Amino acid sequence: MNCVRRMTVASLLAACVALALGTSGAYAQTPSVRPIRLVIPLTAGGGADTTARILAQKLSENTGQNFIVENRPGAGGNIAFDFVAKADPDGHTLLYSPVAIAINPTLFEKVNYRIEDFVGISYVGDAPLLLVANNALPVRNITDLINLAKARPGEVRFSSSSIGSSSHLASEMMRMMAGVEMLHVPYRGGPQALQDVIGGQVEFATIAMPEALAQVRAGRVRAVGQTGIKRSPIAPDIPTLDESGLKGYTVMTWYLVFAPAKTPAAIVQRRHEEFDKALKVQEVQNRLRDAGITEIVNGPPDAAMKFVQSEYERWGNIIRELKLKAN
């Protein structure tokens, strides 16, 4: 009996050791099954959030891993940028970024990241914005809006999705080119900025195309014009600001994917290939176009880094010309 008991105890101990070793091996492999976070510097419901979720769904289907979208709004996007820049460079924390990442280093007095703190994964694509006005405003086109601002200098208010966003800078560029004074009211996302245009707390906003267009079609706001160089295929009836009176005006937002700078090259390449595969699916392209990305670029890592560096220089010059600064 004692012999049997000793054998049973020994067997249990051996089983526990084997289980512990097996569990240890499983944990060693967790990087292949851990969720991959796509961090967004804006609230849910906007253009960046919508397009990121489209991609996350297809990436999850293709890889068997769970790609999740994590919204970290605030400080004009700087909270998200700083978070990803300092994340473990293991390929499990990625940044899905609009243009603010290239704008903020010049716009803000201080940011806790540099462009060099990131490495490119994918250049997803470009998207125009839509300038919309409150229905009660006596504005049908960009000329009407400019004339109103001239008649009421400093009184016409525009909202934006955040300080330093393409939503913000698009309106500032319009203001500069028209030579008028307006008041900027920043929010923490496009949906909130748009809601106050509907409610009349502000007169207008320049917002990501899909969310603004939905409110135009519902009759809650009035479309003034698109910011792209040509009309978006999802809004062929709405003229560009250039063709309706503000000659030479064009502003596009864009979406790029980054990882922390010290991410190994093999992981960067693997993540790029995953995005590349997802972006080549026709259904994904159709959904992204419906969500406002008129030009799907699907560029490689080096193209993403070259592009964001060029945008940093371009927007830096514009911000200095506009004499804009944020605390």
Cα end-to-end distance, the chain, whole Å: 79
- Contact at 8 Å (CB) between 180 and 149? yes
Chosen domain end from 226, 243, 268: 226
CA–CA separation, 145 and 292 (whole Å): 24
Strand partners, 71: 40
Q: What is the pLDDT of residue 117?
A: 98
Strand partners, 296: 125
**122 and 134 in a common domain:** no
Residue 203 belongs to some domain of the structure: yes
CA–CA separation, 147 and 236 (whole Å): 26
CA–CA separation, 240 and 131 (whole Å): 9
CA–CA separation, 201 and 174 (whole Å): 20
Residue 313 belongs to some domain of the structure: yes
Our count of domains for the chain comes to: 2
- Per DSSP, helices labelled H in 64-118 are 78-85, 100-107
Structure-token match 């966003």, residue found: 165
- Contact at 8 Å (CB) between 59 and 274? yes
Indicate the SS3 state at residue 151.
Answer: helix
Residues in the chain, pLDDT under 70: 1-32
Q: What is the pLDDT of residue 294?
A: 87
Q: What is the pLDDT of residue 14?
A: 45
- Residue 45, burial from CB neighbour count under 10 angstroms (0-12, 13-18, 19+): middle
Q: What is the pLDDT of residue 2?
A: 46
Residue 259 belongs to some domain of the structure: yes
Residue 96 belongs to some domain of the structure: yes
- Read off the CATH number of the domain in which 279 is found: 3.40.190.150
Q: What is the pLDDT of residue 13?
A: 42
**113 and 76 in a common domain:** yes
- Per DSSP, helices labelled H in the chain are 2-28, 47-63, 78-85, 100-107, 142-151, 166-178, 190-199, 209-217, 265-279, 282-290, 301-322
**136 and 116 in a common domain:** no
Reported as a single tens digit per residue, the pLDDT across 16-51 is 434 444 433 333 334 457 999 999 998 898 889 999
CA–CA separation, 140 and 16 (whole Å): 75
Q: What is the pLDDT of residue 326?
A: 86
Q: What is the pLDDT of residue 66?
A: 97
What letter represents residue 71's amino acid?
A: N
- Of 144, 140, 184, 179, the closest CA to residue 160 belongs to 184
- Read off the CATH number of the domain in which 150 is found: 3.40.190.10
Structure-token match 């609009």, residue found: 98
**219 and 132 in a common domain:** yes
Domain containing 217: what range? 128-226
Q: What is the pLDDT of residue 32?
A: 58
- pTM equals 0.80
Q: What is the pLDDT of residue 27?
A: 34
**151 and 215 in a common domain:** yes
- Contact at 8 Å (CB) between 99 and 278? no
CA–CA separation, 222 and 148 (whole Å): 15
Chosen domain end from 192, 226, 260: 226
Residue 8 belongs to some domain of the structure: no
Q: What is the pLDDT of residue 136?
A: 97
**146 and 112 in a common domain:** no
**118 and 60 in a common domain:** yes
CA–CA separation, 189 and 207 (whole Å): 10
Residue 235 belongs to some domain of the structure: no
Chosen domain end from 189, 210, 226: 226
Residue 15 belongs to some domain of the structure: no
**154 and 112 in a common domain:** no
Q: How far is CA 243 from the centre of its chain?
A: 27
